[in-house]
Amino acid sequence: MSASGFASLPKPPYYAVIFSSLRNDRDDAGYGAMADRMVELAAQQPGFLGVESTRGADGFGITVAYWDSEDAIRAWRQHAEHTAAREQGRRDWYDHFELRVAKVERAYGWNRSPE
């Protein structure tokens, strides 16, 4: 994840894992540390392309992780430390989440020109 929040991605096709979640109001420090660790760990996995993530003050957040293949998504899902983090998420941090796996077919970006 770049400082700006945007992932730098190759040209499509590639895969997106869209994770929408509602945090409860407990254990912000523990959750934040784990979220940072999962980004750090995901970025070390084969096939990881990038991640974008944000959460509003109401606790609703969206994280989109980008991968080069379904195999890479499957391997990350089976990673032991990630599996443990997901279990802790259900136990301690989330009230609701939805996960969607999608194949990105086209992409377009725009940046403001320097004034």
Using CB under 8 A, list all residues that contact a copy of itself: 4-7, 9, 12, 16, 18, 20, 22, 52-58, 60-62, 64, 90, 94-112
Rounded-to-integer distance, Cα 79 and Cα 45, Å: 9
CB of 35 to a copy of itself, least distance (A): 13
How does strand 14-23 pair with strand 60-67? Answer: antiparallel
1 and 39 Cβ atoms separated by less than 8 Å? yes
- The answer to whether 65 touches 101, Cβ cutoff 8 Å, is no
Which CB, 37 or 90, lies closer to a copy of itself?
90
How far apart are CB 40 and a copy of itself at their closest, in Å? 19
Query: Based on CB atoms, which residue is closest to a copy of itself, 18 or 43?
Result: 18
Residues 115, 45 contacting (CB under 8 angstroms): no
Q: Which is nearer to a copy of itself, 56 or 80 (CB)?
A: 56
| Rounded least distance, CB 67 to a copy of itself, Å | 12
Cα gap 60→92, rounded to integer Å: 16
Is-contact 49 66, C-beta < 8 A? Answer: yes
- Nearest distance from residue 45's CB to a copy of itself, in Å? 20
Residue (53 or 88) nearer to a copy of itself, CB: 53
